[in-house]
Amino acid sequence: MLLHLPESDLPAQFKSQRTSSDPFVRGGNLKNIPIAEQWLANRAIKEGGWPEGTVLDVIQSGTTDWGLIVERLGRRLSGYSFEHNSAEGPVLDTSEREMKRSEEIDAIRSVYPDAQYDPETATLSVPLPNDPDTYLNVIFSPLHPYPGINSRVPPLFISSTKRPSYIKLHLLSHLLAALRPGSDLELSLASGEGIMFEAIDIADNESLRILDSPPEIGEVMKHLVPSSPTPTTAPGKNQDRPKPARQCRQRDILDDRTDEEIKREFEQSRRSKEYPLMLEARKKLPAWNSQDDIVRLVESSRVVVVVGETGQQLSVT
């Protein structure tokens, strides 16, 4: 059986232990880089959800600063080829910058008490108000000018233990799009103002919107994963030959009975003299005691996967 559904729709007990949102996912090609870079790569993959190939490409481009790595990954996600380095931009007044950073961190934590600041990694993590398992993270890198005059977008990433990687990347992409050159937020950024409150609102609103309209994974990953070339067919005498019509098989025929007809037939079978004997046999089946739980899950979930050993008669129950 091949089941296609969003990772987040699976019941918790049926989620793989090596999903993209699992905190212990590891890349298979990381052993070829130094240990310090492996740590950075693993963190970008498991926390930010970026593809391993993109992460390795950015890390091997020459920087080991966590903030600059995240900034470059964000630019790749947005489709920007130009990347900053620590030597670009205006000369930093670090004392004024640190004062502004401290003020913004204190202001965020006063409004969002669950926000956490890790001084070791210089990362502020803020849970989204309507999605508290999802965090907006900003890195106050010593090599980055934010916040300051003519500053650029600070290193941002979305982390979550429950959201699939492509959802985390979509939220970040949507946020970075709101900070594109010429936008109101980008103008505020260039004037030296902090943008974290607005960024939290943008990410939070988008996390609610995609509950009803999830993004297409291909659209999210279009700048990170190279597209496969379209195969071409050599011209020949069979090129334009129409394909034969697909033969209708028995298993392709759907049950066209209405709900009322099915219910009426079921009630008729219940009145038969064979039904009590069949019911007693069903009650002895291993899955009988779980039928209420299964019905409850079907009523409350978009997708339910029922797993059982051969012989438990799940289809009959």
Q: What is the pLDDT of residue 235?
A: 54
Q: How far apart (Å, rounded) are the C-alpha atoms in residues 139 and 146?
A: 10
Is residue 184 predicted with pLDDT exceeding 80? Answer: no
Q: What integer pLDDT is reported at residue 272 of this predicted model?
A: 86
pLDDT tops 80 at residue 50: yes
DSSP 22-91: -TT---TTGGGS-HHHHHHHHHIIIII---HHHHHHHHTTT---HHHHHHHHHHHHHT------TT-SSP
Cis peptide before 276 (omega within 30 of 0): no
Q: What is the mean pLDDT of residues 288-305?
A: 81
CA nearest 136: which of 100, 163, 110? 163
Fill in the amino acid letter for 281.
Answer: A
Residue 129 exposed, middle or buried by CB count within 10 Å (0-12, 13-18, 19+): middle
111 band by pLDDT with thresholds 50, 70 and 90? very high
* Number of Cα atoms under 13 Å in the Cβ half of residue 155: 26
Q: Which position has the higher pLDDT, 239 or 163?
A: 163
Task: Quote the percentage of the chain above a pLDDT of 90.
Answer: 29
pLDDT digits (tens, 9 = 90+) for 125-148: 999 999 999 999 999 998 888 887
Q: Which of 127-136, 143-152, 154-163, 242-251 has the lowest mean pLDDT?
A: 242-251
Sign of CA dihedral 100, 105, 108, 111: negative
Nearest Cα residue to 29 out of 37, 21, 20? 37
Tell whether pTM > 0.85: no
The two counts, helices (H) then strands (E), for the chain are 11, 4
- Reduce the DSSP state of residue 134 to 3 states and report it: strand
What is the phi-psi region of residue 76: left when phi exceeds 0, alpha when psi lies from -120 to 50, beta otherwise?
A: alpha
Percent of the chain clearing pLDDT 70 (strictly above): 73
Contact 144, 150 (CB under 8 A): no
pLDDT digits (tens, 9 = 90+) for 14-46: 454 444 444 434 445 666 677 778 888 888 999
Could you tell me which of 159, 121, 116, 115 has the C-alpha nearest to residue 141? Answer: 121
pLDDT at residue 244, as a whole number: 55
